[in-house]
Amino acid sequence: MNVVITGASRGIGKSIAEHFAAKGANLFLCSRNMDKTLAWQQSLMQKYSISISSFNADLSQAEEAKSFATHVLNATNEIDILINNTGIYEPGATYNEPDGQLEKMMNVNVYSAYHLTRALVASMIKRKSGHIFNMCSIASLQAYPNGGSYSISKWALDGFSKNLREELKPFHIKVTSIYPGATLTPSWDGMNIDPKRILEADDVSKMIVAASELSAQACVEDIVIRPQLGDL
């Protein structure tokens, strides 16, 4: 099994990689800082006897997303799972956030998934097989104070994901949208958050792996996962 994961150097993406490695999957990992995780990659390869191919890229840039796709396709034309996890969060209200923030959020949170999926999906269509996961957010479903352009971009990613789901049905390719609530990742560093009040990255990873293991005739379209006590 070949699994492509973006935003894989830390947080949820890194956790997802660890869970699929434990399942014996070969991994294609991308982030802006994959070169800083070589020791971690080596430990996974040794522990699970898998292969890992990593690539440094800023996927907010269309040409870099396409370069990563070429890197993957040069190695294999059998992509079983694509997980579009690249994303950033910056707070702000739409009426007073810095100029350019919407463009930045859209480039990272939406266009990265759009361009990478377009570059890789032809190989899935040819095989009539595959599963695409898009890392949306609770912010894709519900506006909240100080969400601003982040929330707008996550609504857009949700729309992209829903369109893909309809478009790829005839080719037997599954599409799943993930909507995590607040999750304990490096994005929360420096904030006084009770770890018992927030999701663990592994919670999200376990749900993705479970959805990927269903029969060919079943597709989990949406996974909504929130902290037990509700949103922060």
- Which residues are catalytic, by number? 150
CA distances from 182 to 79, 146, 157, 232 (A): 30, 14, 18, 7
Angle CA(71)–CA(79)–CA(29) in degrees, nearest 5? Answer: 50
The CA distance from 221 to 224, in Å, is: 10
**Residue 116, H or E segment:** helix 112-127
CB 112 within 8 A of CB 88: no
- Sign of the Cα torsion 146, 147, 150, 153 reads negative
